[in-house]
């Protein structure tokens, strides 16, 4: 199992650059209270995400980010640091998305990627499917979210 | 298999009200171009989601919403119409999230829920886990996104 990072920058990255076993880690991205509340007011309006006073009385003793907000912050880091910029095709989806630990305002998240599988398409040989284990890790080293992402990338050759 | 909706309103809903086989459908929620771009600029900054001119030249012939934005819109409908309001505990996660069809500005999405499983906790009998097939459907009846959600709810008794 290799643990070298992908050497090719995202702007030039293609399917062939995603080698199973390769790992990388990048970030941080900060979790901001104003943004936690604004995101949840639109997309996940539950008091645990939108109302600091109510959340303080709740099971987590304070405001926590919507799990979908955490996923969005992780996606931002993936776009900037991991996915191919010009050779990315649409993602078919995500497996095993897990919210493992509360994400709170003031947290700083890193993302760790591990390439699990890279398979060139039989029917469309100009592209391939990459499966990646994606973990979000907070400032204490705790994995707060994990998922398996699927991405289609164009081939260089 | 029952297809009756859940009779108990979200404000009173508890674990016992989530009966396998029950289905429901609610919405719509509108997909707005300004919001598609704003969401993606922060959480998924790829030209297909942020740049109408570049997206018009791309594989979808126009701007499409970030898959995470679609998930957020679906979550909004779930919070308002499906999940228990006061008896909801944190969600452990999501399985088999699939982006099946492009979501475009001007679309109107409905959500269809089908309860797959409801299992009271052995170790913590005051709560139970519900697994729900969740589908987002556009104005043409096309399923644009699907996933299996897991939710913990407090029991009434």
Report pLDDT digits (tens) over A7-61: 899 999 999 999 999 999 999 999 999 999 999 999 999 999 999 999 999 999 9
pLDDT in tens, B17-61: 999 999 999 999 999 999 999 999 999 999 999 999 999 999 999
Residue B5: predicted pLDDT: 87
Nearest chain A residue to B39 by CA: give it.
Answer: A72
pLDDT digits (tens, 9 = 90+) for B103-152: 999 999 999 999 999 999 999 999 999 999 999 999 999 999 999 999 99
Tens-digit pLDDT profile for residues A62-106:
999 999 999 999 999 999 999 999 999 989 999 999 999 999 999
Residues of A in contact with B75 (CB under 8 A): 43-44, 66, 68
For chain A, state the CA radius of gyration: 17
Range list of β-strands (E), chain A? 23-30, 93-99, 108-120, 127-137, 143-154
Average pLDDT over residues A130-142: 98
Q: What is residue B157's predicted lDDT score, i.e. its pLDDT? A: 85
- Side by side, which strands form the sheet with B23-30? A23-30, A108-120, A127-137, A143-154, A93-99, B93-99, B143-154, B127-137, B108-120, B23-30
Average pLDDT of chain B is 96
- Peptide linkage before B28 cis (omega within 30 of 0): yes
CB atoms within 10 A of CB B53: 8
The separation between CA B33 and the C-alpha centre of its own chain, rounded to angstroms, equals 20
**Among A76, A90, A97, beta carbon nearest to B43:** A76
Closest partner residue to A93 among B80, B90, B97, by Cβ? B97
Which member of B76, B93, B96 has the closest CB to residue A98?
A: B93
Q: Please name which of A17, A25, A128, A137 lies closest in space to residue A81, comparing C-alpha atoms.
A: A25
Contacts of B90 in chain A (CB under 8 A): 59, 99
- Provide the angle, in degrees to the nearest 10, between the axes of the packed helices B67-81 and A33-43: 70
Nearest to A97 among B39, B97, B99 (CB): B97
The pLDDT score that the predictor gives to residue A2 is 52
**B10, B11, B30, B43: best mutation site toward chain A, by most A Cβ within 10 Å?**
B43
pLDDT at A5: 87
Task: Find chain A residues with C-beta within 8 A of B42's C-beta.
Answer: 72, 76
Q: Do B92 and A99 touch (CB under 8 A)?
A: yes
pLDDT in tens, B83-92: 999 999 989 9
CA distance A92 to chain B (A): 6
Which helix (DSSP H) or strand (DSSP E) does residue A74 occupy? helix A67-81
**Rounded to 5 degrees, what are φ and ψ at A135?**
-125, 135
Contact residues of A toward B, CB < 8 A? 39, 42-46, 59, 66-68, 71-73, 75-76, 79-80, 88-99
CB B143 within 8 A of CB B137: yes
- Note the maximum CA span of chain B: 58
Q: In the prediction, which pLDDT does B3 show?
A: 60
Interface of B with A (CB under 8 A): 39, 42-46, 59, 66-68, 71-73, 75-76, 79-80, 88-99
């Amino acid at each position: 199992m290799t643990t070298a990072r992908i050497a090719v920058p995202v702007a030039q990255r293609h399917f062939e650059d995603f080698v199973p076993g390769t790992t990388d880690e990048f970030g941080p991205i900060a979790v901001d209270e104003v943004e936690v509340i604004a995101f949840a007011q639109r997309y996940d309006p539950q008091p645990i995400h939108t109302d600091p006073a109510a959340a303080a009385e709740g099971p987590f003793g304070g405001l926590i980010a919507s799990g979908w907000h955490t996923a969005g912050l992780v996606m931002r880091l993936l776009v900037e640091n991991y996915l191919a910029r010009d050779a990315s095709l649409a993602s078919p989806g995500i497996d095993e998305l897990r919210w493992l630990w509360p994400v709170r305002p003031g947290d700083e998240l890193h993302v760790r990627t591990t390439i699990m599988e890279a398979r060139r398409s039989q029917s469309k040989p100009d592209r391939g499917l990459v499966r990646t284990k994606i973990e979000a890790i907070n400032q204490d080293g705790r994995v707060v979210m994990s998922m398996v992402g699927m991405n289609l990338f164009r081939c260089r050759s």
